[in-house]
A and B are shown apart, each in its own frame.
Chain A
């Protein structure tokens, strides 16, 4: 089978390099970063840290080069989903496309361009160290399931999950993947922007009792929006928040949104807190704290361009 990774940043590279270990999987990667693409084609894609892996695969900056694929795995930042999938949709005329991105609304954006869509959530994380070389920070599970309005056949979801698992990225196929997805979104929306607005690492956010209450307020709104849609969270996001605050886990971790703000890059706030607010509005659930945090982070972004 052939799999194309759409957006070969840190998370995309983890999937690409691991899947490339399998003899029965032909891996392609589409990314706009030419140096990264050139390095992958010349020397392979190197992972180090949580696992030492070298993947041999074809990378390209030109979507037209992609051959017909059985599967796509979209791993761009959420604001680039639509453009990346529009450019590559021809490769998936007979295939299925999964998202492993952060935030809400990616499946809907993908479904505008391809027919069969797989909802997904992934917990592994890393960062690009150099072109062709990615630091694998954290291992973790991935969950895939059919995107309800435009589902991929469940057998295909299982086929992709099996390949990922065999490649070294443990992945489960489930009928309803919204639970893990909303748990991660609620976690991210309740903690990332707080780090971004205050400059504090995850552990320092969680250890301040007053700030922890704010985090819980954001979590509660997210849970209410999930419940209104009949989504059962697979675990309590609060547990994940406290677990991540442990010194041996991610106490000193600067949320990606804090890193974005420090580098003055557009954040994923529209797809995290913005997503919770939009889904809340659709289901009649008020989300005033998420709305306030969304407005403040957009204000931060506006302060760079005024």
Chain B
């Protein structure tokens, strides 16, 4: 089994190092220096796993020959140029996207006839250096068929990932879970980023709870128009999460507090674009999208 992991940020590094224990792994990096370091030092994982993997790395996909699986693990904003660079390579590979938001599969689809798997990952980590990643949250990666693939294909990749020491689950259709998570994330992250509130009881009651409820309703209307039957009700996910006891700080709140760019474009942006595509009005999500973009502009 030969796997190419394209993109060696936190998620890409976690996939590459673990998969290298059960497959022959090549890593496509953006920087020459990054590839050289990986070739010389390997890729160390700490935290929930503790080992150093041997990988081959390059900035040029032509150097890798063919592969059975290509995992696209870059950030959503980097996907288009990455997919462009893969055109004409890996003729026999299945390509799997793991970006946040929606639509990554379609970005990739136009650049080659590869069979496509769709994935969303909830694992997390911290990249300490080019050759060292810490595995923090061992939550699953969900995989489903997208183009010219079946649930059995998703199962076999999930098996591979599990054998490598990570968690994975295959679905016959990823979209119900993907959309539930997306609507939940778009709502909770943007409201937290704008109010400064962690995800606590304010999100489930009173005036703010009313806004959160209306936001999840908008999301549900978009899902319905897109023909997606949600796996979970995002409002109930929200209520349930606020009853956990400790208030979670959504990543977008941490981003604005640290004056970093947020994932608003990938998360809420995906939902707003899908709404437009399906002719559904989402004035509230559009408002949050504009406000968070403007908040980013205030510190840049």
Contacts and interface: CB of A to CB of B under 8 A. Distances in A.
A42 interface: no
Contacts of A197: 194, 291, 295
B106 to A, nearest CB: 24
A194 B291 CA distance: 8
Contacts of B194: 197, 296, 299-300
A300 B202 CA distance: 11
A303 B197 contact: yes
B284 to A, nearest CB: 6
Contacts of A204: 297-298
Contacts of B293: 210
Nearest to A298: B207
Interface string B194-209: 1111101010000110
Contacts of B283: 217, 288-289
Interface in B270-300: 283-284, 286-287, 290-291, 293-295, 297-299
Interface in A189-244: 194, 197-200, 204-205, 208, 210-211, 213-214, 217
A299 B294 contact: no
Interface string A256-297: 000000000000000000000000000000001101111110
A292 B209 CA distance: 11
Interface residues of A, number: 27
B294 A291 contact: no
A299 B295 contact: no
Contacts of A293: 287
A208 B195 contact: no
B202 A198 contact: no
A230 to B, nearest CB: 27
Contacts, number: 83
Contact of A295 (B211, B247, B297): B211
B197 A306 contact: yes
Contact of B202 (A217, A291, A306): A306
B291 A302 contact: no
A292 B202 CA distance: 14
B210 interface: yes
Contacts of B138: none
A291 B207 CA distance: 9
Contact of B294 (A211, A288, A289, A306): A211
Contacts of A298: 207-208
Interface of B: 191, 194-198, 200, 202, 207-208, 210-211, 214, 247, 283-284, 286-287, 290-291, 293-295, 297-299
Given A200-B298, A298-B207, 18 more contacts: A198-B294, A199-B299, A200-B297, A204-B297, A210-B293, A211-B294, A213-B290, A288-B214, A292-B211, A292-B214, A292-B284, A292-B287, A295-B211, A296-B195, A299-B202, A299-B208, A306-B198, A306-B202
23 contacts: A194-B294, A198-B295, A199-B299, A200-B297, A205-B294, A210-B290, A210-B294, A211-B290, A211-B294, A214-B286, A288-B214, A289-B283, A292-B214, A294-B207, A298-B207, A299-B194, A299-B196, A299-B202, A299-B208, A300-B196, A302-B202, A302-B208, A303-B195
- Please list the 7 inter-chain residue pairs (A to B) with the smallest Cβ-Cβ separation, ordered nearest first: A299-B195, A199-B298, A303-B196, A198-B294, A295-B211, A295-B207, A303-B197
